[in-house]
Amino acid sequence: MMILLLDKNHPLIEEQLSAKGFTFEEDFTSTYEEVLEKISDFEGVIIRSRIPLDENFLRHAKHLKFIARVGAGMENINVEVAKELGISLINSPEGNRDAVAEQVLGMILLLTNRLIISSEEVKKGIWKREENRGEELLGKTFGIIGYGNMGKAVAKRLSGFSTKTIFYDILPNLSDEFATQVSLEELQKNADFISLHLPIDKSTHYIINEDFISKMQKNFYIINTARGKNIDTEALANALKSGKIKGAAFDVLEFEKASFENIEIENMDLDFLLNSEKVLITPHIAGWTIESKEKLAQVIVDKILLKYS
């Protein structure tokens, strides 16, 4: 089986699959149009996010049997057309769930204990203790929206902090030893924290908006390591200004490029976030650890071999 690699990934993908008889072409620089011209030569494609695999692309891929995304989200692929054409879709959320969960916990602790703010103040010779009094997680209610691989990994780690962890998910009967499933209304009633772990589609686009925020009964912290367009940036900025949202931590932004490489537009509300001491922002690295790079690749290899060896 001939596989096209469109993004750089851990070398174990080529090493292990080559040993099983798969052949490869690496192409990390060609444009969408250039890849389109040759995609019919391949039976498999392994990607991250560089090139969109839209309907036009997929209908040109006459011999494509599978698309493997080294990561969790599949929004860069026209999933419906892929299914129509009988193209198998493979992803690897198991590979970076631990990395995401650890970043979520790190972000929470940085926010609630004002660690970055107070550290920067001390470096400037400013010594404030009362102003930097933190909040403990013990006894708080932590709300997770989306209880898949990432959400479950976060809940597992929160168990060590003795929080009450609840979650909302569209699938039923997912409660486990680490978290209890509740309605969205109950989550909005009780949560002191919200962490998003969702794909992006019509139902989750702007799931956090002005209406959602107004229904939160407590002032709360919010963490988003899922997709930027899960949150309406204008509503978020307004809630931070009013104090309804006490602090926010984001690894993703509404105005990221589809390839996740950088921010693509200027926006007044985004400028507010970038300059607010209540906001922590990282460059889409929550699943981006030394360990997860290898684990993501290994999951992809294992799934390909399970299906095609």
Give Cβ neighbours of residue 68 (< 8 Å, ≥ 6 apart): 44, 45, 46, 47, 90, 91, 92, 300, 303, 304
284 an active-site residue?
yes
Q: What is the 3-state secondary structure (H, E, C) of 183-235?
A: CHHHHHHHCCEEEECCCCCCCCCCCECHHHHHCCCCCEEEEECCCHHHECHHH
157 an active-site residue?
no
d(CA 287, CA 299) in angstroms, rounded, equals 14
d(CA 166, CA 147) in angstroms, rounded, equals 10
Sign (positive/negative) of CA torsion 167, 162, 290, 194? positive
Q: Which of 14, 69, 197, 256 is catalytic?
A: 256
End-to-end Cα spacing for the chain = 10
Residue bearing tokens 């609840």:
166
Q: Which of 48, 227, 261, 266 is catalytic?
A: 227
CA distances, 203 to each of 216, 251, 254 (Å): 19, 21, 16
Structure token digits, residue 32: 């969408």
Q: Which of 97, 284, 291, 294 is catalytic?
A: 284
60 an active-site residue?
no
Q: Which residues does the annotation mark as catalytic?
A: 227, 256, 284
